[in-house]
Amino acid sequence: MDLLDPQCAATSVGVANPLMMHLVTTLLTSYCNTSSPDMWPEDYGPLALEYGPEQYDFIVIGAGSAGAVVANRLSENPAQKVLLIEAGGDPPIESEIPGLLTSLQETEFDWSYPTRSNGNSCLSMIEESCIWPRGKLLGGSSSINGMLYARGNSYDYDNWERQGNPAWDWQTVLKYFKLSEDFQGRDRYNAHGVGGPLNVEPFRSPRKDQRMILKASEELNYRQVDDFVDGNDIGFGYLYGTLKDGRRFSTAKGYLTRIRDNLHVIKHAVATKINFDAEKKAESVTFVLDDMHEMTVNATKEIIVSAGVIESPKLLMLSGIGPRKHLTNLGIPLVHGAPVGDNLQDHPAVPLFLSLEDQGKTNESTVLDGIYDQWIHRVGPMGMGVLNIGAFVNTKRNAIKYPDVQYIYLPVPNFSRFGARYKPGVRQSILHRLSPNDRLMVVFVAALNPNSRGRVRLASTNYKDKPFIFHNMLSDDQDIETLIRGIKKQLEFETTRSFERSNAKFLKVDLPACNEFPYQSNEYWRCYVRHMTTTVHHQVGTVKMGPPMDPTAIVDHQLRVRGVKGLRVIDASIMPTLISANTNAAAIMIGEKGADYIKSNWNMRRYVRAG
């Protein structure tokens, strides 16, 4: 205890000092174990650099929501050597704490893609650019997202099959959702999985705000839902999360923490090109390690691209697979002409700002209580990012079983970070309406079935340059009208007894460009939607799956890239159309199903009949 004596003037007879040291030691142990390097797979990069890379049966590019799944499943056969290449590194402590999810944006763990202005959306953002966060670390975006577990509507997947993609219907993909899942709770519909790698459980969070919203939805006669996993995702209810004991459970934690000897992982390695032989078979991957060392590694069987909706099309185009004219203009030798990068889709969203009853100023004591509760008991306000509420509605008719709008509720204790991407004038106008004592919630209104389509294109042949993202959000007027209907439906909540009891009121944002229109008129909301557009991070579709007669399709229903051999894309970029929910669970399902197709093609053990 001599360590404390010169730094602490308080007198102790000896008992208090060891108690204090025990408290400090307990806190430090919990803190350090949150994301210990021992949790994550060993980095094979230094060995590959020293001795040269080995030859592998399969190479998987990207350790994200789908790639981690594919690498794990392929390595289940000990006879197969698998290499997983990841551009980022291990998840930091902030990734593990649900309440700190936004702190990873615009850091080294986030690709932080700027989008190109289209003059019709994101008009109040700096340079009219909506920034798209995507995970650049083990687990990919599953390590930085809101952790909500939602599968979507059965119609979404049945529609994929109707478009010419056999065995992608709801009943078939349900098997793969269940295969991945280890559900911790009561399964009312026999729709959850048990024993899979991905832990799914309820959030450990305060329930007051959730109860307020759900009671209001009940007053407004919205369907009350026990569980959103049976393919009928319309109504209001609680969502589960990809969590375990109050901490994030990413695909890195579920699929990569206990890897087999036949799976190697190289971190901080950016794939720059897939190389083909004379028969157009993918034979090797060139990558740059630690931004310094270029290396090439061979695959004897297949190369799987799971780099995500932006990086997957970028890598294909750098490798010579993409729009013929675009690649020719950049001087990239053409391997196969295809509309790679087209069909980009996202759920366009706009924020509404809800002021809740005054809770008094947050003082140092309450902050410390929250920190203690999280580190020791894994409960409290830091255990929640977005509220775990499923809110899926059809704004035209409540009785219709297919939603067109989703509401996402985000408590914002520190509002300044949320406003950081808005232009200074807009940022000031948002903050000006709020007193220091206001407790705030951002309600995102997201259009689930957008008609607008964007595209991704290379900025240059340099792998370091971020691609051009032409998101084209709100280029179709129907998307604007859907958002306006969704806003009006959400404003009705303010009239309920539940909201009145909490003194919950929506705040007006003083947008100079929209002040010429009567407040809450259709004209005002149309202006508001175009200026306050944002993303809820559900981008998909840039390497579209489709039948041979579909000229816009890049991969077949087994996710094989057409026009070449030995190459697949397995991630959310293959979705032909966007599902009507959060996309992470679906990306994991795609990883499971894609891995099963590979096993089938190479006569390896399969878990589920893939069709």
CA angle 386, 236, 500 (to 5 degrees): 80
538 included as an active-site residue: yes
List the beta bridge partners of residue 304: 60, 568
Look up residue 57 and give its two tokens: 């049966």
Q: Write out the H or E segment, with its range, that includes residue 200.
A: strand 198-200
Q: Which of 264, 537, 538, 557 is catalytic?
A: 538
User: What does the alpha-carbon distance between residue 169 and residue 217 come to, in Å, rounded to a whole number?
Assistant: 31
Q: Where are the alpha helices (DSSP H) in 67-196?
A: 67-74, 93-96, 154-162, 170-180
Per the document, the length of the chain is 611
Helix (H, G, I), strand (E, B) or coil at 587: helix
Helix (H, G, I), strand (E, B) or coil at 34: coil
Residue 516 makes CB contacts below 8 A (sequence gap 6+) with: none
Q: What sign for the dihedral angle of Cα 249, 250, 253, 255?
A: positive
Q: Which residue has the tokens 């499943």?
A: 73
- Evaluate whether 489 touches 393 at the Cβ level (below 8 Å): yes
User: What does the alpha-carbon distance between residue 390 and residue 146 come to, in Å, rounded to a whole number?
Assistant: 13
Q: Write out the H or E segment, with its range, that includes residue 535.
A: strand 534-535
Smallest Cα–Cα separation from 277: which of 61, 543, 566, 561? Answer: 566
Look up residue 112 and give its two tokens: 């932080």
Look up residue 322 and give its two tokens: 């993409």
Largest CA distance in the chain: 84
Smallest Cα–Cα separation from 590: which of 557, 562, 566? Answer: 557
Cite the active site residues.
Answer: 538
